[in-house]
Amino acid sequence: MSGQYIIAIDLGGQSAKIAIVDLDGQIRQKWSIHTNILDKGQHIVPDIIASIKDHLDLYQLEEKNLLGIGMGSPGSVNQQAGTVHGAFNLNWEDQQDLASAFHQAFDLPFYLENDANIAALGEQRQGAGHNQAHVVLITLGTGIGGGIIIDDQIYHGQQGSAGEVGHMILNKDSHIQCTCGRYGCFEALASATGLNNLAREYSQRFSGQSAIKEAIDSGQEVTAKEIIQASQDNDLFAQKIFDEYTSYLGQGCANLIDILTPACIILGGGISKAGDYLLKAVRAKCEQYVFKALEGQTEIVLAELGNDAALIGAAELVKTHERLTKA
């Protein structure tokens, strides 16, 4: 390979995805390694560094061909210091100084970000955000992650950790508890877990015929995908749950529009695979809840980059910083 590239890393609890990305933001090579969380996660960073060195040799790339390294990590990231703490799924007990580790291994700029934030940056720059200045990404998975792009940059708030959209409270009187300890959070009601929470709550009150209700009542695990499919297949119980689910999702989107009025809200994560069926319902619900004068200003769309969003965002992070440094 010749030309200029960026190394992008998306670190997760199961695997670390690594890519060589060109300056147009296209992934040119991509691989992943197992995240070894043994021994308090002390092998994670050395393993990533060794794998990068191997692949640079393989593709005959030298440091002079590289603009820098961008990385997304779970946990609470200090962007300036290049450190992370509270990444419990990596088995890291203490704060980790990733910047020092990478600077020792490579004579290259290194930029660290929270994983939800760089996924938002990736979608804004190369995906569904179409490079618009103000974009919000909502990731609908086991939880609800979020990233806010304002004026073309990741918004960090006062101390680096803004954008916890999953924990805005949509129903303070709800009996559904979030993993964070509060009740009625967006995440507790509108993530995949939220869909299950609503199903379990409503199964007490539904007396009709439903395969989904029967499965829940007999203690079986029912996935979000199965509930949504059953709703599409006219299971009345599943339809009722999906209606309530999209009401909360619409309310959450409407609140973000009232406050931030971004160009678009991008829905990502596992639930977003329900595609147009989800999108149509959420748009209708959001229209019910959003402030009338703002109607039509923000589009709700599906994410386009899938699992590559964070890798592409990590590369964009490097491009942005290097552009700013040179400006």
Least Å from the CB of residue 130 to its own copies: 12
CB of 241 within 8 A of CB of 195? Answer: yes
- The CA dihedral of 211, 217, 221, 222, to the nearest 10 degrees, is 40
Alpha carbon 270 to its chain centroid, in Å, reads: 10
| Rounded Cα gap, residues 57 and 176, in angstroms | 52
Q: 68 or 129: whose CB is closer to its own copies?
A: 129
CB of 64 or CB of 292, closer to its own copies? 292
Q: Which residues contact 87 (CB under 8 A, 6 or more apart)?
A: 73, 74, 75, 76, 96
User: Residue 191 class from Cβ within 10 Å (0-12 exposed, 13-18 middle, 19+ buried)?
Assistant: buried
The nearer residue to its own copies, 97 or 258, going by C-beta atoms, is 258
Nearer to its own copies, 258 or 322 (CB): 258
How far is Cα 298 from Cα 148, in angstroms, rounded to an integer?
14
Q: How far is the CB of 160 from its own copies (least distance, A)?
A: 9
Quote the least distance from Cβ 166 to its own copies, whole Å.
8
Least distance (Å) between residue 53 CB and its own copies: 35
How far apart are CB 62 and its own copies at their closest, in Å? Answer: 38
* Cβ-based burial of 3 (10 A; exposed 0-12, middle 13-18, buried ≥19): exposed
Q: Cβ of residue 182: shortest distance to its own copies, in angstroms?
A: 6
Report in angstroms how near the CB of residue 204 gets to its own copies at its nearest: 17
Task: Return the number of the residue (187 or 235) whose C-beta is nearest its own copies.
Answer: 187
Min separation Cβ 2 and its own copies, Å: 39
In the bound state with its own copies, the residue whose beta carbon lies nearer, of 55 and 167, is: 167
Amino acid at 182: R
Nearest to residue 241, comparing CAs of 296, 196, 177?
A: 196
Tokens of 44: 């994670």
Measured distance CA(182)–CA(167) in Å, rounded: 8
Closer to its own copies by Cβ: residue 1 or 133: 133
Residue the block writes with tokens 């009709």: 208
The type of residue at 13 is G
Can you give the binding site for its own copies, defined by CB under 8 A? 76, 86, 132-134, 148, 150-151, 155, 157-159, 161-165, 167-173, 180-182, 247-248, 251, 254-256, 258-263, 288-294, 297-298
CB nearer to its own copies: give 38 or 293: 293
Residue pair 311/30 in contact (Cβ under 8 Å)? The answer is: yes
Per DSSP, the three-state class of 12 is: coil
